[in-house]
Amino acid sequence: MCRIPYLIVILLLSMPFAAAQTTSLAGDWIGESICFGNNPSCHDEKVVYHISVDPSDSTKVKIAADKIVDGKPDPMGVIDLKYDAGKQILTGETQTARYRLWWEFTIKGNIIEGKLSVLPDKTIARRIKVQKNGSTQKAPSMTQHATGTFEVKMTPADDKSEDKSLGRMTIAKDWHGDLEGTSVGQMLTGGDVTKGSAGYVAIEKFTGTLNGRKGSFILQHSATMTRGAGQLTITVVPDSGTDQLKGISGKLGIKIENGKHSYEFDYSLE
């Protein structure tokens, strides 16, 4: 049985970024404020931001924020922010009884994306995405980032085949970090590792939690190695999410350094 699956040692994953657009700030913006990190007292919220601009100073912006509870707006307070038109960003600091908070938003056309961090170390507590009310542009799902490590055990499956260029293995992983749980799956391999060229496909099912959300989803792997140069794509199978991970989509990247496996997972939830 050849050991082609270990080609993932040299594989990397890159990601694109979208260009920003400009739009008028004043008006109502509707969307979501999603908890980030492991904070059990935090709750995801549907929000409406009523944004106004000081007529005498366009750098001064106020957000009167409501959360939607049982279909009705519940005022949360007013946020004073500074607007940088050149960079298309809004920033500002607020104070609660327990925390100093830092708000940072980026305007991308009819979409505003932002994050709420706890000072002084700027630990991210929430990620926010809102769409201007009345816009015909469809708001995309919020992209979130997860990181951590995992241990993997791959076991050759004895298919009693004389063809050594093909193989099959079972996968078992323990995940740690933003992903906490286990996964199982199967891998099909093919190629000639003596020439440094091979490929594999695999399907694995993760079960556990993602940033505190319980559920499961399926990952699809596709990888090739051409004379030592590798490419790997790992994506969430559409509509495979269950429970609190229902509607999940995303891509996962793997790194191996000093024999330790780590991951970066960019995902969104409908």
3-state helix, strand, coil in the chain (%, to 5): 5, 65, 30
Q: What is the CATH number of the domain that holds 32?
A: 2.40.128.120
Give the count of domains, the chain.
2
Is the per-residue pLDDT at 139 higher than 60? no
- Residue 198 covered by a domain: yes
Q: What is the pTM of this model?
A: 0.51
Q: Looking at per-residue confidence, does 184 or 10 come out higher?
A: 184
Amino acid at 235: T
Q: Looking at the structure, do residues 237 and 154 belong to the same domain, yes or no? A: yes
pLDDT higher than threshold 70 for residue 1: no
Does 158 lie in the same domain as 222? yes
**Alpha carbon distance 82, 89 (integer Å):** 8
Opening angle at CA 133, ends 130 and 134, nearest 5: 140
- Kindly state whether residues 214 and 254 are assigned to the same domain: yes
- Length reported for the chain: 270
Residue 20 covered by a domain? no
117, 36: one domain: yes
Does one domain contain both 127 and 225?
Answer: no
Cα gap 67→105, rounded to integer Å: 18
CA distance 39 to 14: 29
Average pLDDT over residues 118-139: 81
Same domain, 56 and 134: yes
| pLDDT at residue 141 greater than cutoff 90 | no
Q: What is the mean pLDDT of residues 151-171?
A: 84
d(CA 167, CA 44): 45
Structure tokens at 17: 């970024």
In degrees and rounded to multiples of 5, residue 50 shows phi and psi of: -95, 105
DSSP string, 167-208: EEEEEEEEEEESEEEEEEEEEEEEEEGGGTEEEEEEEEEEEE
Q: What is the pLDDT of residue 101?
A: 95
pLDDT in tens, 222-263: 988 887 777 889 999 999 999 999 999 999 999 988 889 999
Asked if residue 203 and residue 175 are part of one domain, the reply reads yes
pLDDT tens sequence across 42-74 = 889 999 999 999 888 989 999 999 999 888 889
131 and 78 fall within a common domain: yes
**Contact (CB, 8 A) for 4 and 10:** no
Q: Do 135 and 182 reside in the same domain of the chain?
A: no
Domain boundary pick from 139, 160, 177 = 139
Check whether residue 31 and residue 131 sit in a common domain.
yes
Q: Which residue has the tokens 């994306």?
A: 113
CA nearest to 266, candidates 254, 251, 246? 251
Nearest Cα to Cα of residue 18 among 88, 73, 78: 88
User: 162: which DSSP letter?
Assistant: S
Using alpha carbons, list the distances in angstroms from residue 203 to 79, 219, 227, 234: 46, 6, 25, 9
Q: Residue 135: pLDDT band by 50, 70, 90 thresholds?
A: low
Q: Is residue 18 scored above 50 in pLDDT?
A: no
**Residue 80 in this model has a pLDDT that exceeds 70:** yes
**Secondary structure of residue 83 in the 3-state scheme:** strand
Question: Does residue 208 sit in the same domain as residue 236?
Answer: yes
More confidently predicted of 179 and 226: 179
Q: How confident is the model at residue 142, as a pLDDT?
A: 61
Q: How confident is the model at residue 193 (pLDDT cuts 50, 70, 90)?
A: low
Which of 139, 160, 191 lies at the terminal end of a domain, its last residue? 139
Q: What is the CATH number of the domain that holds 234?
A: 2.40.350.10
**Range 17-24 average pLDDT:** 40
Per-residue pLDDT at 85 exceeds 70: yes
- Give a yes or no: residue 154 inside a domain: yes
In a domain, 186, yes or no: yes
pLDDT beyond 80 at 147: yes
Rounded to 5 degrees, φ, ψ at 176 are -135, 155
Question: Which residues, in sequence order, are CB contacts of 2 under 8 Å at separation 6+?
Answer: 164, 165, 167, 189, 191, 193, 198
Query: Among residues 107, 139, 171, which one ends one of the domains?
Result: 139
Q: Is residue 201 included in any domain, yes or no?
A: yes
Q: Using CA atoms, how far apart are residues 225 and 127, in angstroms rounded to an integer?
A: 37
The reply to whether 135 and 153 lie within a common domain is no
Confidence of residue 157 (pLDDT cuts 50, 70, 90): confident
Element (H, E) at 108: strand 100-108
Is there a domain that residue 21 lies in? no
**Residue 22 located in a structural domain:** no
pLDDT (mean) for 258-270 = 90
Domain residues for 237? 4-15+146-269
Residue 214 has pLDDT above 80, yes or no: yes
- Asked if residue 243 belongs to a domain, the reply is yes
